[in-house]
């Protein structure tokens, strides 16, 4: 099969030009850092993705749910660690994650 050059504009119609690479990781649902709905006791069975370059999200990264929507504000525990990160309107807050569990 050969492709004619130059490419037709229609070949790129709908191409997601702002597509960014994200990293998947396991985490809990949103919780609190007090005794009611305590985040450290939540199961870490959700798969989220983040916009950063590390294995886990860092301050300033945007974290997305399985439908590519930014996460709701709250505290989330990272699977297999004692680390919790705080989300404010989809982004990891400054000074987070912290080892609190």
How does pLDDT run across 69-97, given as a tens digit for each residue? Answer: 999 999 999 999 999 999 999 999 999 99
Q: How confident is the model at residue 37 (pLDDT cuts 50, 70, 90)?
A: confident
Residue 3 belongs to a domain: no
**At a CB cut-off of 8 Å and minimum separation 6, what does 59 contact?**
92, 93, 94, 95, 96
- Tally of structural domains, the chain: 1
Q: How confident is the model at residue 35 (pLDDT cuts 50, 70, 90)?
A: confident
Tell me the residue range of the domain where 43 lies: 20-99
Residue 10 belongs to a domain: no
Residue 41 belongs to a domain: yes
Residue 94 belongs to a domain: yes
Q: What is the pLDDT of residue 101?
A: 93
Residue 15 belongs to a domain: no
* 59: number of Cβ within 10 Å: 14
Rounded CA separation 85/100 (Å): 10
55: nearest Cα among 84, 74, 78: 78
Q: What is the pLDDT of residue 74?
A: 96
98: nearest Cα among 82, 64, 90: 82
Residue 88 belongs to a domain: yes
Residue 5 belongs to a domain: no
Burial of 85 (0-12, 13-18, 19+ CB in 10 A): buried
């Amino acid at each position: 099969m050969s492709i004619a050059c130059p490419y037709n504009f229609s070949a790129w119609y709908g191409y997601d030009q702002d597509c960014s690479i994200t990293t998947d990781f396991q985490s809990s649902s949103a919780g609190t850092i007090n005794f009611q709905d305590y985040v450290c006791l939540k199961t870490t069975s959700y798969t989220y993705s983040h916009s950063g370059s590390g294995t886990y999200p860092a301050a300033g990264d945007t974290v997305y749910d399985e439908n590519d929507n930014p996460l709701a504000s709250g505290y989330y525990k990272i699977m297999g660690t004692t680390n919790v990160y705080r989300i404010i309107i989809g982004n990891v807050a400054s000074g987070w994650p912290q080892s609190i569990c």
